[in-house]
Amino acid sequence: MRKLTNILVTGGAGFIGVNFIRFLFGQGTVAPEFKGRIVNLDAITYAGNIASLKEIDEKFGGTRYFFEKGDIGNRALVEAIFRKYDIDTAVHFAAESHVDRSILGPEAFIKTNVLGTFTLLDVARSAWKKSDGSFGSDVLFHHVSTDEVYGSLGETGYFTETTAYDPRSPYSASKAASDHLAMAYHHTYGLPVTLSNCSNNYGPYQFPEKLIPLMISNMLEGKPLPVYGDGKNVRDWLYVEDHNSAVWAIMEKGRAGETYNIGGENEWENIRLLNELIDVVAAKSNSDAPAAQAVAMRSTITYVKDRPGHDRRYAIDCSKIKAELGWKQAVSFRQGLERTVDWYLSNKEWVNGIRSGDCRRWIEENYGKR
Ligand code: NAD
Ligand code: TYD
């Protein structure tokens, strides 16, 4: 088991990063053994919200938790952080992460996902390389990626770790490039790298431009529920804490140079998922007549123009991580949706705060009119 003492978390103010840091500090529903320090490097783009870690900062700030605001592409800053905190592990979440944004403006995706990842890898290589050119067994660069690099499936089949890459959006192409760079650093320089490709995550603190939190927010505000195309695209949904326990298992025990697929084994057509979510939100709203409330919400479902190049189906075969590292999902879809809806119902301030900025303008300018 690796020691994982001084961990650099990039993108720790985003959806998965916030949940990962909370999980490591015992604020999730399960807690791993972790006694080390976390350095959170985040540029706080429209998707980052450092207030999500207020309790962690109050409890552990300056002793075991440190926040550094900055760009992963800023080499001098990244080098200084490696030196200042004696970083032995990097877990790299920071990215531009939304497919729709990548279609409208791909450049930021190339800068952060490709060039930013390159900078991190290259700094890790210089910082960790011993005088004989080798690397110790207690350093690790874990790169977090997506199943979208594998392209789109038909009605059958699953993505495995050996499925050929076939990215089809600027987002997935930029993530594919970053995956190749990470593995190239392992094969060429011997840098200890692990890689995970995960299916769609959902849960608390997700920015309300992605399907589930967008739909919950629109339901609570009585707004239309925009379904792209025929609503029959399929995604494999995973509760964020299950993703993070998998990432942690890989960091502790995963073999350097290996890729691990992480999935929910939980495929849903978008329209079916939306109907399930409507039932959960209606049941939790204060209405005396949840069934009538659900009917009212269903009437706001609006089919809109499809996303260009919309991948039809994603589905992950995660048998490798289950067999090799003993990981498995702990949260059923219904439980996960209920926890997520509860969280959005009790954190309207968080949603209003993050939506009142760039996101609201962006969503309205680009999608509000359709
Ligand atoms: P997110 O968009 O919610 O958060 C990204 C975070 O990265 C934000 O806090 C943002 O401020 C930060 N960031 C962006 N550019 C930066 C830069 N140049 N320098 C420093 N920080 C920067 O994303 P997320 O959903 O939490 O995804 C995290 C990672 O997981 C990404 O690499 C994504 O590709 C991957 N992933 C996400 C999902 C999913 O369903 N959300 C699924 C599989 C893989
Ligand atoms: P999204 O959450 O953007 O994740 P990804 O594109 O990375 O899978 O979208 C999930 C699915 O939901 C995808 O098939 C697109 C669809 N979708 C809608 O139908 N309406 C929406 O408003 C959004 C944001 C997504």
In 3D space, the residue among 263, 212, 205 whose CA is nearest the CA of residue 238 turns out to be 263
Percent of the chain with pLDDT over 90: 91
Q: Return the ∠ at Cα 42 (arms to 354 and 240), rounded to 5°.
A: 65
> 279 Cβ partners below 8 Å, 6+ apart?
294
pLDDT value at position 225? 97
- Distant-in-sequence, close-in-space partners of 247: CB < 8 Å, separation ≥ 6: 20, 91, 142, 144, 196, 262
Judge whether residue 202 has pLDDT over 60.
yes
Catalytic residue among 148, 161, 209, 267: 148
Q: How confident is the model at residue 356 (pLDDT cuts 50, 70, 90)?
A: confident
Residue 224 has pLDDT above 90, yes or no: yes
- At residue 316 the predicted structure's pLDDT band, cuts being 50, 70 and 90, is very high
Q: What is the pLDDT of residue 370?
A: 37
Verify whether ligand 2 is closer than 6 Å to residue 146 (CB atom): no
Query: Which of the following is catalytic: 96, 147, 161, 242?
Result: 147
- The mean-pLDDT minimum among 196-210, 257-271, 284-298 falls in 284-298
Whole-number Å distance, alpha carbon 130 to ligand 1 midpoint, is 31
Mean pLDDT of the chain: 95
- What pLDDT does residue 365 have? 60
Q: How far apart are CA 212 and CA 206, in angstroms?
A: 9
Say which amino acid occupies 109: F
pLDDT score recorded for residue 360: 46
pLDDT value at position 286?
Answer: 78
Torsions phi, psi for 163 (to 5 deg):
-60, 135
Interacting residues of 242 by C-beta distance below 8 A, sequence separation 6+: 264, 329, 330, 331
Q: Decide if pLDDT at 355 tops 90.
A: no
Neighbour-count burial of 164, counting CB atoms closer than 10 A to its CB (0-12 exposed, 13-18 middle, 19+ buried)? exposed
Mean pLDDT value across residues 292-303 = 96
* pLDDT band at 369; cut points 50, 70, 90: very low
Provide the pLDDT for residue 354: 83
Residues 221 and 173 sit within 8 Å (Cβ to Cβ): no
Nearest to 7 by CA among 64, 72, 74, 73: 64
User: φ and ψ at 100, to 5 degrees?
Assistant: -60, -40
Q: Which residue has the tokens 């239309």?
A: 224
Residue from 152, 175, 211 whose mutation best tests the ligand 2 pocket (most atoms within 8 A of CB): 211
